[in-house]
Structure 1
């Protein structure tokens, strides 16, 4: 069964990046991703799904960090010089979700961003939301859930503290 699983970090006020897209705050005193089980999570990922903004932000960070995973980027524009294994998807989101489910994939990592999450929630396709909530209020930025995100009920499956941060795991109710 294919599980669309978002594993993401957010500030206490729900931001995933600064207004300019910077994520430098993730590295300032936060526990390492391994403290939130990221290595084990990533080992089980069969495909990565991301929005165009997230793709552009990851490309600016240096070497492509996912050479061992196929990546689908939801975008209406072509991807110039995309790394091997990266494909653009300009079609409808429900069609992409159906295609990935039909392939019988296990875990699809929904890396971000907020627009993609909003779209997946709107069609009932986000199965699991795993968040590292870091003890920082940015005050402004790119929200995890942008305006227009549909009301969605989730069920808390796990919560624990990691230093001063929270690790929360929700599933669709």
Structure 2
């Protein structure tokens, strides 16, 4: 059974992109030394990458080569993708997708990108763990790490560690056994 994971960076004030949808603030840390937590080591454990349409559109606009040739890629969207940047599948039913992902045995699943899709997985008790890299930046607004949905659940901290250049890694597992509820927003 595949583990479904999050792996994401955020500013100290809780944003993953600026109001202009820029990640330039994060790219300043491309030479960050993460040791055993380095992205290149993380991605080797991933068999399937799942991303939302916003993340796909961001990657499509980027001039870089497609980074996921070694993984199966699923884009959650109901809109057509005219000329895919890389090899990918398109899905619109998250519940059906989660059932399928759980049955995989070729590596973990990474829910890549923004908090909107991650929150959809969290609300369905389908995200098993998350690594959050808190960067020493205040960007003052933009796309929040997680959108406000009113959903509430518990997490258990596995590790908090200070890394290079003031980055802090937080590694949590979701406490699906404690129950979850919808709280008033």
Per the normalisation by structure 1, the TM-score is 0.92
Q: Which moved more, 1:71-80 or 1:102-111?
A: 102-111
Q: Which runs of 5+ in 1 are unaligned?
A: none
CA spacing shift, 1:128–1:33, aligned 2, 3 Å: farther
Which of these two proteins has the greater Rg computed from alpha carbons?
2
Q: Specify the alignment match of 1:24 in structure 2.
A: 24
Q: CA deviation at 1:152?
A: 1.6
CA 1:151 to 1:31, structure 2 compared with 1: closer, same or farther past 3 Å? Answer: farther
Report the equivalent of 1:66: 68
Give the corresponding residue for 1:7.
7
**Aligned twin of 1:89:** 91
Structure 2, gaps ≥5 residues long: 176-185
Render the CA deviation track for 1:115-157: whole Å, top value 9, x for unaligned.
1011111100010110110011111100111011511211110
1:149–1:166 Cα change, 3 Å: farther
Change in 2 beyond 3 A, CA 1:41/1:86:
same
Which string of whole-angstrom CA distances, capped at 9 and with x for unpartnered residues, describes residues 59-92 of structure 1? 22222111221110111101121134211112x2
Structure 2 residue 103 is matched with structure 1 residue 102: yes
> Residue in 1 aligned with 2:124?
123
Contact 1:156–1:170 (CA<8 Å) still a contact in 2? yes
RMSD of aligned Cα (Å)? 1.6
Q: Which residue is equivalent to 1:76?
A: 78
Counting matched residue pairs gives: 172
Maintained 8 Å contact 2:66/2:86: no
- Measure, in 2, the Cα distance between the counterparts of 1:49 and 1:152: 22
CA distance in 2, matches of 1:9, 1:41: 14
Structure 1 residue 45 displacement after superposition: 0.3
